[in-house]
Amino acid sequence: MKVIDECCCECITQNLNRTKESCPVCNNEGVTVSRITVEHLVTDDYRNAVDGDQYKICMNEDCDVIYYNLDKEIKFLKDQVRVPIWFKKDADPKYACYCSKVTEEQVIEAVVKHGAKTVKEVNAITGAMKNSLCKENSPLGVCCHKIIQEAIDKGLTMK
Ligand SMILES: [Zn+2]
């Protein structure tokens, strides 16, 4: 069972808004991300290029496109954002919590070596979800709770 009331910023209640506007390169379905998030995540060189209010993020692990806005015909690629996007292939490091810079590896270690089983326990050990500014730090602009839970599940299967 997944506990959802431990979210650091209540943003988990906001469902990821999937629409049919697909990635201009790979044609995969994108997930809506707000402009604020995109502005914080692109490198300084590209911040001024951010235009339009709504972006999508391409969830295809093999695609180099991160954010795109079809109306404005803008797209930002992997090397135009500040942090590795955890679900893209070869992301290094793979962050589970972007706000506190805790990696998936650290979460798995907390589970395997220290016996943590819940998000709360993992947070206590790793310091994840301490400085929550998900809208600005997380590539999806939502709470990392779900990513941490997935890393825990991964760790539990390794035990
Ligand atoms: Zn794509």
CA distance 152 to 154: 5
Asked if residues 47 and 29 have their Cβ atoms less than 8 Å apart, the reply is no
For residue 3, pLDDT over 90 is answered with no
Q: Cα(51) to centroid of ligand 1, in Å?
A: 19
Same domain, 141 and 90: yes
Final residue in a domain of this structure, among 59, 82, 105: 82
Same domain, 74 and 30: yes
* Angular region, 52: left φ>0, alpha ψ -120 to 50, beta rest: left
Q: Cα(66) to centroid of ligand 1, in Å?
A: 7
Q: Kindly report the CATH number assigned to the domain that includes residue 29.
A: 2.20.25.270
Range among 25-29, 52-56, 108-112 with highest mean pLDDT value: 108-112
For residue 17, pLDDT over 50 is answered with no
Q: How high is the pLDDT of residue 133?
A: 82
Q: Is residue 106 part of a domain?
A: yes
For residue 15, pLDDT over 50 is answered with no
Query: What does pTM read for this prediction?
Result: 0.81
For residue 42, pLDDT over 60 is answered with yes
| Residue 6 pLDDT level (bands cut at 50, 70, 90) | low
Same domain, 40 and 57: yes
Final residue in a domain of this structure, among 82, 110, 133: 82
For residue 39, pLDDT over 60 is answered with yes
Q: Cα(98) to centroid of ligand 1, in Å?
A: 22
